[in-house]
Structure 1
């Protein structure tokens, strides 16, 4: 078999110039990329975004998901670093939980599985002025299996709460960082 006539001759010059233009624009745009958590990414409150996230004070949040959310945020924002550091920002959140039953075993009337829906409504404000720096509402869903054994169902529900809190913390950290970028 032989190659088609266009492949023998090579690519048409218009295609090559289009490819060269696309590669050149990609190379130029690549220089504009700046990582969100880099030391030289400046924040709206001064300093780098990474340091601005360390300056967020996270008080206790009501509820079990709130407790786990606070722990995850402290770890993700500060890494458990300097406890005596003066905080310039304050995080406030309220957590709402709901349960959605997915499947029901009709022979005994029990739910076989459920989905925990955790909603966090949160704000980050400046400590002195109460000016809102970042805010949002984040929703996550954590499915789990329900069993006829009570302890297994309780443990599965607890694990779903922990997973929901971890996912909320990741989403909130990303949104806060994006909102804190200057320019």
Structure 2
């Protein structure tokens, strides 16, 4: 039901402020819509030539030391290349060092054993051009935290720690891919 004041309002009264704000927001959104371009589009050019997507596929990823480094290398190969197209000429080289530490979160005071822990994985990386002066295209340091439960059963604790390493490597790979793609955009 409407109040009689609203129904009988003369046409000379101004439009309510809420409607004006909504109209202004919609108008601004319509104008800004043409300014945005998807990062992984074939039309987005990279600083190394071609599209950002093709530049990501041209990254060579050598072995990385350590178990977390091994998982990170596998995840990056999938994230950047999608697991296909072996014919792509490699123009960039990825170099990384990983480190990890464990932070004990809670301790059972009756047994003195840690109930849960957090794996802190750090990746320090650079991407350089292959050949020539080896110019650095992108670099960074990323840190992720992967919590896991510890058990009185040794195998369960070892498996939970391994799963935390895999989760940390996946998170690091996604962060690195996003940062690398953003650094590769030209203009």
Q: TM-score, normalised by structure 2?
A: 0.91
2:15 to 9, 13, 20: 13
How far apart, CA to CA, are the structure 2 residues paired with 1:6 and 1:120? 62
Q: Please report the RMSD computed on the Cα atoms of aligned residues, expressed in angstroms.
A: 1.9
Q: Deviations over 1:134-176 (max 9, x none)?
A: 1111110000000000000000000000000001001100000
Look up the match of 2:88.
85
Q: Quote the residue 1:140 is aligned against.
A: 144
Distance 1:88 1:5, change over 3 A: same
Question: Which stretch of the first structure deviates more once superposed, 40-49 or 16-25?
Answer: 16-25
Tell me, in whole angstroms, the C-alpha distance in 1 between the residues paired with 2:127 and 2:4.
63
How far off its partner does 1:23 sit? 1.9
SS of the residue 1:161 aligns to: helix
Structure 1 residues 62-112: Cα deviation after superposition (integer angstroms, max 9, x where no partner): 000000000000011111222243200000110010000000011111000
User: Partner of 2:38: helix, strand, or coil?
Assistant: coil
Change (3 A) 1:2 1:101: same
- Determine helix, strand or coil for the equivalent of 1:92: strand
Distance 1:6 1:144, change over 3 A: same
Note closer, same or farther for the CA distance 1:2–1:35 as it changes in structure 2 (3 Å cut).
closer
The aligned residue for residue 55 of structure 1 is: 58
Aligned residues: 183
| Secondary structure of the corresponding residue to residue 104 of structure 2 | strand
Answering whether residue 71 of structure 2 is matched by residue 68 of structure 1, we say yes
1:124 maps to what in 2?
127
Q: Which runs of 5 or more residues in structure 1 are unaligned?
A: none
Q: Give the unaligned 5+ runs of structure 2.
A: none
- Residues 155 and 3 (structure 1 numbering): CA distance in 2 closer, same or farther, change over 3 Å? same
Paired position in structure 2 for 1:98: 101
Q: Flag the 1:92–1:18 CA change in 2: closer, same or farther, 3 A.
A: same
Q: For each residue in 1:2-55, what CA deviation from the matched residue of structure 2 results, as whole angstroms up to 9, or x when unmatched?
A: 638458639833735544333222101011110000010000111000000000
Which TM-score applies when normalising by structure 1? 0.93
Aligned match of 2:164: 160
**3-state DSSP of counterpart to 2:94:** strand
